[in-house]
Amino acid sequence: MSADILIVDDESDIRDLVAGLLEDEGYRPRTAGNSDEALASLEARRPGLVFLDIWLQGSRLDGLQLLDIIKEQHPDLPVVMISGHGNIETAVSAIRRGAYDFIEKPFKADRLILVADRALEASRLKREVKDLRSRSVQASRIVGRSPATNQLRQVIDRVAPTNARVLVTGFPGVGKELTARTIHAMSSRSSGPFVVINAATITPDTMESELFGVEGSDGKGRRVGALEEAHGGTLYIDEVADMPQETQNRILRVLVDQNFQRVGGATRVHVDVRIVSSSSRDLPSAIAAGKFREDLFHRLGVVPIRVPALAERREDVPELIEFFMDQICGTTGLPKRTIADDALAVLQSHDWPGNVRQLRNNVERLMILAGGDSDMEITASMLPSEIGTLVPTTPTGAGGEKLMGLALREAREIFEREYLTAQINRFSGNISRTAEFIGMERSALHRKLKSLGIGS
């Protein structure tokens, strides 16, 4: 998406010249002839870059004073000063006060475009670094090749390039935010910001100012809200069902009108933001209980995406473990481990109520406990007790004395039934993969299951 550029200069021919040159390069310029017009324009919507004349004759504030206010309100917004001939010293002092660069009048078109490109690129990189830091080593790749995960990937592929709003649902830790980030990364807005707001952790009192921002007076107390920050990109509203009613009403209006007012303000702010929201709660029952607006539900969830629980795609577990081990080794310097078959079987059979996040935490804990001894294999006995014990668990008590009272044929049948049920469960009902793992022909396994009365 091409960037908005604000040009502030008291000379109208300079404004028109700069605007024309930038427009030819595919940018969207707007202009202001004095400091008040500039502040009003910034107020209406944050641009991607400002060209600011140092002198600004006949204006309430000169360029440097205006620069200070811009830097206070929008520390990350790049400002390029336009300096008259012989006023380089002032331009240099502007750089000390936070300007990105300056161009000297009369300037060449090439220089102007080059500075604009560079300033925008530097600001994009800065944002990217900030974003990368904020999610530190978090994954940005959806790992797993189970049918459920493949299907999720297909839906994301289809939805991402459209501008459609998406509502991502699923239990905590299944990868809803990762899904939203992937949608953003694969969309035409990928170079724009991805802003996260968590409705569950923000109090009802601050929700509106976080989302819409605060107007303030004379540039004081002003705060940019998440919607404005996400202009040109994606706003991810996590746990949307936890939004207070009043905010629900207002966000619905934003979705209908595509603009909003800041807290305590009268200006209408127009933004271009794609909203992706998430919920780990059952929204239809929140609607039935009168806690969530049905019309908002329909507006947010133009495309609903459900991320399946990890227990519905156990085949992903080995690849996820491998992926997390690589990540953790990369950040901690701990040596990579092998996971013994018995441990893998337990990890794959566990139900994982905390889903992928819980699996990741466990992998991390196991690697830390295993310490620096790289030869040490992780076995089932090293797993924490809440993860469970070796499969098959024996609900009939087949592990104990009961088996001893039976003839070999009967005991074997009980064992086979429980062993095979557990293995099939582990591979989410996939007979081919179960057969491959237990070392049987697929057709022989089918016959065996039939004779034991499993799955029929």
Nearest to 145 by CA among 363, 360, 319, 348: 319
For tokens 């507006």, what's the residue?
Answer: 299
| Nearest-angstrom CA–CA distance, 7 and 10 | 10
Q: Where does this chain touch ligand ATP (CB under 6 A) — which range of 46-54, 117-125, 174-182, 369-377?
A: 174-182
In the region spanning residues 112 to 171, those forming contacts with ligand ATP, defined by CB under 6 A, are 138-139, 142-144, 170
Task: Find the length of the chain.
Answer: 456
Q: Where does this chain touch ligand ATP (CB under 6 A) — which range of 9-17, 173-181, 362-370, 371-379?
A: 173-181
Among 28, 118, 357, 433, contact with ligand ATP (rule: CB under 6 A): 357
In the region spanning residues 60 to 99, those forming contacts with ligand ATP, defined by CB under 6 A, are none
Q: Are 206 and 246 in contact (CB under 8 A)?
A: no
Closer residue to ligand ATP (CB): 327 or 394: 327
Among 50, 241, 321, 356, contact with ligand ATP (rule: CB under 6 A): 356
Closer residue to ligand ATP (CB): 271 or 359: 359
How many residues at the interface with ligand ATP, by CB under 6 A?
A: 20
Among 84, 147, 172, 335, contact with ligand ATP (rule: CB under 6 A): 172
Among 274, 360, 417, 426, contact with ligand ATP (rule: CB under 6 A): 360
CA 252 to chain centre: 22
Rounded (10°) CA dihedral 7, 12, 16, 22: -20
For the chain, give the longest Cα–Cα distance.
104
Taking residues 210 to 239 in sequence order and writing x for each that binds ligand ATP by CB under 6 A, - otherwise, the string is ----------------------------x-
Taking residues 176 to 205 in sequence order and writing x for each that binds ligand ATP by CB under 6 A, - otherwise, the string is xxx---------------------------
Nearby residues of 285 by Cβ (< 8 Å), 6 or more positions away: none
How many CB atoms are closer than 10 A to CB 266? 7
Taking residues 238 to 277 in sequence order and writing x for each that binds ligand ATP by CB under 6 A, - otherwise, the string is x---------------------------------------
Give me the least distance between CB of 355 and ligand ATP, in Å please: 7
User: How far is CA 168 from each of CA 172, 175, 177, 309, rounded to the nearest angstrom?
Assistant: 11, 9, 8, 13
308 counts as binding ligand ATP under rule CB under 6 A: no
Tokens linked to 68: 């200070």
CA 438 to chain centre: 39
For tokens 């925008």, what's the residue?
Answer: 120
- φ/ψ of 440, rounded to 5, equals -125, 155
> Contact residues for ligand ATP (CB under 6 A)?
138-139, 142-144, 170, 172-178, 238, 280, 320, 323, 356-357, 360
